[in-house]
Structure 1
Amino acid sequence: MIRRLFPDLLMTLGLIALWLVLNRSYGFGHLLFAVILGVGIPLLVKPLRPAPVFFKKPLLAFALFWRVGFDVVVWNWRVLLGTLAVGDKVPKGGFVVVPLELRDPNGLAVLAAILCVIPGTVWSELALDRSQLLVHVFDMKNAEEEIETIKTRYEKPLMEIFQ
């Protein structure tokens, strides 16, 4: 019964907290509306979720979060310097095909978010059988290094977290 009413308790609590914090009001009306949203939205989006999410290693997920944050800062500088470069120092972008071992749809969704949030990389296409991924890299010096970076820095931890 409780699982039916709260298909995703973490999302429910997050939506309630988000509503109250964004409105900066903790009155009865806002609290009631936050609870209605917190219960209603997860019920409405339940059919859209591909699979239940289970974190097997939350500490690794936390470490991955900070790794991605660090990479965002580093790549912002690399892209900035690349856009200001002239002559032979102009970055040479290109596409790489990354073979994937990650099969979990939630893990793939997180990998897509990571590759799209890091400046200089764009998730371009996923093979229908989910065996490989096409990624555009802003400043590609060595395709093999880029593939290895994606696999070791992002795919491997995501496999440990989601599979």
Structure 2
Amino acid sequence: MNHRLFILLVLFWLLINQTLALSQLLLGAFFSAILTLLAQRLRPERARPKHPGLALRLLWHVFCDIVRSNIAVSRIILGLHHGPPKVGFLDIPLILRDPHGLAALAMIVTATPGTVWAGHDLERNILTLHILDLQDEAAWIHTIQARYEAPLRRIFE
């Protein structure tokens, strides 16, 4: 059983009910135990991340990219961009196969304004992105592969 999840669920139960009564503690523990056991069946494969320093650097890069992307999208919305944006889809070949790494990549891409994870072909391992301003396809491919995928591979594979 995942003890951290169990404790977190019990604490949320007590917080939601705004009480520390023994009856609520026992009821919260009962429901938390059931949910924790059910959650294990939904996620049979556990993540085994490595290189915490690299993960922190990746998090910093993602934060900086989100800030830059917010500024770029704001410029487009406010009409300060040179000409209309070139909206498009881009297929990017990936090497990363770990489901946790792919989930992290999906969160990174979706959290960055102006980009959306539009699809993933499992057989060919091709990521399809929808990009608000697709000016330089090679730069986008390099950014995804070198800046995000490469560290995620080292962290999760």
For normalisation by structure 1, the TM-score amounts to 0.80
Aligned to 1:132: 126
Alignment identity in percent? 37
Question: Which aligned pairs between 1:1-163 and structure 2 lie closer than 5 A?
Answer: 6=1, 8-17=2-11, 19=12, 23=16, 25=18, 27-29=20-22, 31-49=25-43, 51-85=45-79, 88-129=82-123, 131-163=125-157
Instruction: For 1:65, give the aligned amino acid.
Output: L
Q: Which amino acid aligns with 1:58?
A: P
**What SS is found at the alignment partner of 2:91?**
strand
1:38, distance to aligned residue in structure 2 (A): 4.2
| Residue ranges of structure 2 left out of the alignment (5+ in a row) | none
* Shift in CA distance, 108/37, structure 1 to aligned 2, threshold 3 Å: farther
Segments of structure 1 that go 5 or more residues without pairing to the other structure are 1-5
In the alignment of these two chains, the number of paired residues is: 156
62-71 or 149-158: bigger deviation: 62-71
Residue identity matched to 1:124: A
Structure-2 change in CA distance of 1:62 and 1:87 (3 Å): closer
Work out whether residues 75 and 81 of structure 2, in 8 Å CA contact, stay in contact via their aligned partners in 1. Answer: no
